[in-house]
């Protein structure tokens, strides 16, 4: 049986709670990612910021500014990050993670071992698995071509 550690991205890009929305946006843009775990200096997981959170924060500040004399992108991540997020062990099963993510409509699960962030698994990782399985199926049972 495959486990989370077989598929997860190790050493995910992270930020600290004191980083800003601008830092998160720049990191996401630079690396083409949509989820950024927020960690303490000892690498303990404390939150998560998603691309959707950035968009919501920017929209919210346009509608009703709450921070005077501060740009939206200067807002610290601890003001918008999700806390009490679900995580998974690197020894967890891939199927149970996929079912959980689908049921709860989440795009990622941080992978935590002994309280420390060790990786992340995302919905894109599961799409990769599906593509690989479909390619294997095509090799085993190629489509017949009508002549």
63: pLDDT strictly greater than 60:
no
pLDDT, tens digit (0-9, with 9 covering 90-100), for 12-27: 999 999 999 999 999 9
Give 82's pLDDT tier (boundaries 50, 70, 90). very high
Residue that the structure tokens 């071509």 belong to: 145
94: exposed, middle or buried (Cβ count in 10 Å: 0-12, 13-18, 19+)? buried
Q: What is the mean pLDDT of residues 82-109?
A: 94
Give 57's pLDDT tier (boundaries 50, 70, 90). confident
Least confident of 33-37, 99-103, 130-134, 136-140: 136-140
% the chain with pLDDT above 90: 67
Contact indicator for 109, 119 with CB cutoff of 8 Å: no
Q: Give the global pTM.
A: 0.82
10: pLDDT strictly greater than 90:
yes
% the chain with pLDDT above 70: 87
CA distances for 102 relative to 34, 97, 107, 108, 126, angstroms: 17, 9, 8, 10, 11
Pick the closest to residue 114 from 45, 49, 41, 47 (CA basis). 45
Pick the closest to residue 90 from 111, 117, 62, 121 (CA basis). 111
């Amino acid at each position: 049986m495959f486990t989370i550690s077989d598929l997860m991205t190790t050493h995910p890009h992270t930020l600290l709670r004191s980083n800003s929305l601008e830092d998160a946006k720049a990191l996401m843009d630079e690396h083409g990612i949509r989820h950024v775990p927020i960690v303490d200096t000892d690498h303990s997981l404390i939150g998560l910021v998603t691309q959707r959170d950035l968009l919501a924060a920017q929209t919210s500040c346009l509608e009703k500014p709450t921070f005077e004399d501060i740009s939206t992108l200067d807002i610290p991540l601890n003001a918008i990050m999700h806390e009490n997020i679900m995580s998974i062990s690197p020894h967890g099963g891939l199927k149970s993670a996929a079912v959980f993510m689908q049921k709860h409509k989440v795009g990622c699960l941080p992978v935590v071992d002994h309280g420390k962030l060790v990786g992340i698994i995302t919905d894109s990782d599961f799409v990769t698995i599906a593509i690989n399985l479909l390619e294997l199926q095509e090799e085993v049972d190629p489509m017949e071509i009508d002549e």
